[in-house]
Amino acid sequence: MIVGRAVKYTLFEGSKELAFVPLSREEQLKGKLVIDGVVSRMGRAAASLIQQLLFFLFLSLGAMIPALSLIVLGFTLIWLRSIYFIGNEFQEMTDSEAELSLKPIT
């Protein structure tokens, strides 16, 4: 559990904060409210639901490990794809801001 929290705060919190850098102050506030208030709770609820469903189907922790491994692999692939997409969006936003700051004022 300690390792899980350390990984969460090391990877998730840092990448979450970086995603908000090119946004305006208002967009940052609204985005953080949605992520921290809604998405985080929905993720915990979904994880609990998946865990309860697996316990119901497999009746033991040992029996559900293969299915749980596939679920974790699926979510990891989705997470990596999301990181790639957000990275591209971040690059486009920062490039467009750099172009705007380099244009001479007429």
The rounded distance, in Å, linking the Cα atoms of 12 and 66 is 25
Proportion of the chain above pLDDT 70, given as a percent? 85
> pLDDT tens digit string along 50-97?
888 888 888 888 888 888 889 889 989 998 898 888 888 878 877 776
* Residue spans per domain, the chain: 2-102
pLDDT on residue 81: 92
Q: What pLDDT score was predicted for residue 29?
A: 83
- Which residue do the tokens 């316990």 mark? 55
> How much is the pLDDT for 25?
84
Rounded to 5°, angle at Cα 23 from 105 and 28: 145
Residue 105 has pLDDT above 60, yes or no: no
pTM, entire model = 0.59
Residue 8 has pLDDT above 80, yes or no: no
